[in-house]
Structures are given as structure tokens and as C-alpha cells.
Amino acid sequence: MLLRAGRVRRLPPNVHALDRVPLDRALRHATAFVHHGGSGGLLQALAAGVPQLVTPGIADRRHNATVLARTGAGIGAETRHVTAAVLGRLVHDPALRSAAEEWRHRIDALPAPSTALPLLVHEG
């Protein structure tokens, strides 16, 4: 588990407090990802094939949580509804892991921006 330093004084041995870490690096080692539903984190976790729990916040985040849940690659739940059972499902449900991996494969199969850009730009 990663946690922003300074928020908690006593940490269990499996919790590492860090000031900042690039999300793509952290997700390489993650079993699951719990976040507020911003599109950046959501898309990075999909690209990494990591199941997600989104506790939606403002703006598009509620919509993002709903769409994520429909993909099967994650769970959307209000913070007050996050229980040990929900976290257990996030970590142990093979269907969530499989759907997240499928999204990783889909994203990996997309063309590189250098390949796609000429298709989007019309000269003439």
C-alpha cells in the first residue's frame, strides 16, 4: 500500500509512506487501485490492467465510476459504502482482474500516436 507521507503517524509494516510516486510505476506493482475517479488515474489503471475501486467525487467522476463498473474492470462505490467485503472483492474477484487485463490488452493494441496522427490530419 502506498500512502502520501504526513497523513498518518503510525503505519503498519505493509504501508509505505511516500511524498510522490509516478502512478504508472506504482500501478506496475499494484494488486488494485482505489481512487476518486479522475480520468487520468482511471485510464492509467486500465492501461496497467489493474482492477479499480472508484469513490466518485465531483464533476465527471461519478460518470467515470458508472462507466468503469459497466466495463467490469472495477467497482464504483460511495466512500461510506466501502466495506471489507467490497475491498475483498476488489482484490480477489477473478472477473474484475480478467476484465482489467482485457482492457490492458485493448489499450496495448492501439496504434502509437505517431501512427495515428497522419490519419487525423488532413493535408490539402
Query: What residue ranges do the domains of the chain occupy?
Result: 32-111
Alpha-carbon distances of 54 from 38, 74, 87, 112, rounded to whole Å: 9, 8, 11, 28
Residue range 70-92, pLDDT digits in tens: 999 999 999 899 999 999 999 99
Res 33: pLDDT: 94
Domain 32-111, CATH number (from 3.40.630.30, 1.10.357.10, 1.10.760.10, 3.40.50.2000): 3.40.50.2000
Whole-number pLDDT of residue 68? 95
Under DSSP, is residue 16 helix (H, G, I), strand (E, B) or coil? strand
**Cα(76)–Cα(41) distance, integer angstroms:** 14
